[in-house]
Amino acid sequence: MKILVPVKRVIDYNVKPRVKADGTGVDLANVKMSMNPFDEIAVEEAIRLKEKGAATEIVAVSVGPAKAQETLRTALAMGADRAILIQTDDEVEPLAVAKLLAKVAEEEQPGLVILGKQAIDDDSNQTGQMLAALMNRPQGTFASKVEVSGDTVNVTREVDGGLETITLKTPAIITTDLRLNEPRYASLPNIMKAKSKPLATKAPADYGVDTAARLKTLKVVEPAKRSAGVKVADVDELITKLTSLGVVA
């Protein structure tokens, strides 16, 4: 079984994003970029399935600018076998990404597509579900455990009240939650080896997908700032404050 793993290049999760003064977006010039953390978990899960013998080949794919190659090389260094970059400088919305991924999946015929549950830049949490819809395949979203057996896969999902387990017929789409696994670091020899692994570059037009945006961003602003707080000296003073807030009778 082949596994397709879509990965996204995003602002590093440790960087505090700055909103541009003209309100057109978030300033990404000279900001550290990395692989979306949920996608690292997706790559790791694919590799573990391969190590267990449940998968034969891992194909990493990314939609983004030329620099997204670095993100794909990271996936290759972790253990993916080859990569596809669908190169574009436009911002591509989840619906268009899902359409591109559906075309790649049509070509590659993966048994599983494993995505992160959301990208930490647009926080949409849509692409996996949309891909599943377009392919008319089952979806196992927010996965914290994945078990492949024959032509089904059991997915334990993180839901609001706890955990739930569902069975999906493969081919299936899975999106990862944080607790699915602990992604490995790429070792230096593997980073060197990754440089010679195949990386194909394509364009959205090669797949006949229109990536025009459906949503227009009118403005981006900083959230309202909280006014400065006070420090209290001891528990008694805190209780007085709580009483004045009406929390304590």
Partner 1 sequence: MKTLVLADHDNQTLKDATLAVVTAAAKLGDVHVLVAGSNCEAVANQAAQVAGVSLVLLAEDAAYEHELAENVAPLIVNLMGDRDAFLAPSTSTGKNVAPRVAALLDVMQISDILSVESDDTFTRPIYAGNAIATVQSSDAKKVITVRGTAFAKAEKTGGSAQVEKIGTTGDAGLSSFVGAELSKSERPELTSAKIIVSGGRALQNGENFHALIEPLADKLKAAVGASRAAVDAGYVPNDYQVGQTGKIVAPEVYIAVGISGAIQHLAGMKDSKTIIAINKDEDAPIFQVADIGLVGDLFKLVPELTEKLPG
Instruction: Count CB-CB contacts under 10 A for residue 224.
Output: 6
Stretch that binds partner 1, among 54-62, 72-80, 187-195, 218-226 (CB under 8 A): 218-226
Task: Give the shortest CB-47-to-partner 1 separation in angstroms.
Answer: 21
Binding of partner 1 at residue 179 (CB under 8 A)?
A: yes
Report the residue number, 196 or 226, with the smaller CB distance to partner 1. 226
Q: Which two tokens stand for residue 27?
A: 């300033």
Query: Phi/psi class of residue 76: alpha, beta or left (left: φ > 0; alpha: ψ in -120 to 50)?
Result: alpha
Size of the site for partner 1 (CB under 8 A): 80
86 exposed, middle or buried (CB, 10 Å; 0-12, 13-18, 19+)? buried
Binding of partner 1 at residue 160 (CB under 8 A)?
A: yes
Query: What does the per-residue mask of binding to partner 1 show for 94-133, with x meaning CB under 8 A?
Result: xx--x------------------xx-xxxxxxxxxxxxxx
Restricting to residues 15-44, name those near partner 1 by CB under 8 A. Answer: 16-17, 19, 26
Binding of partner 1 at residue 137 (CB under 8 A)?
A: yes
As a residue count, the chain comes to 249
Stretch that binds partner 1, among 1-9, 11-19, 60-68, 199-207 (CB under 8 A): 11-19
Binding of partner 1 at residue 229 (CB under 8 A)?
A: yes
Task: Give the shortest CB-177-to-partner 1 separation in angstroms.
Answer: 7
159 exposed, middle or buried (CB, 10 Å; 0-12, 13-18, 19+)? exposed
Task: Give the shortest CB-203-to-partner 1 separation in angstroms.
Answer: 21
Q: Under DSSP, is residue 190 helix (H, G, I), strand (E, B) or coil?
A: helix
Task: Give the shortest CB-197-to-partner 1 separation in angstroms.
Answer: 30
CA 227 to chain centroid, in Å, comes to 34
| 152, 168 contact by CB (below 8 A) | yes
Tell me the DSSP string of 116-182: ES--TTT----HHHHHHHHHT--EEEEEEEEEEETTEEEEEEEETTEEEEEEEESSEEEEE-GGG--
Task: Give the shortest CB-195-to-partner 1 separation in angstroms.
Answer: 31
Binding of partner 1 at residue 138 (CB under 8 A)?
A: yes
Per CB under 8 A, the list member of 12, 13, 51, 90 interacting with partner 1 is 13
Report the residue number, 32 or 226, with the smaller CB distance to partner 1. 226
Separation between Cα atoms, residue 52 and residue 46, nearest integer Å: 10
Restricting to residues 46-105, name those near partner 1 by CB under 8 A. Answer: 93-95, 98
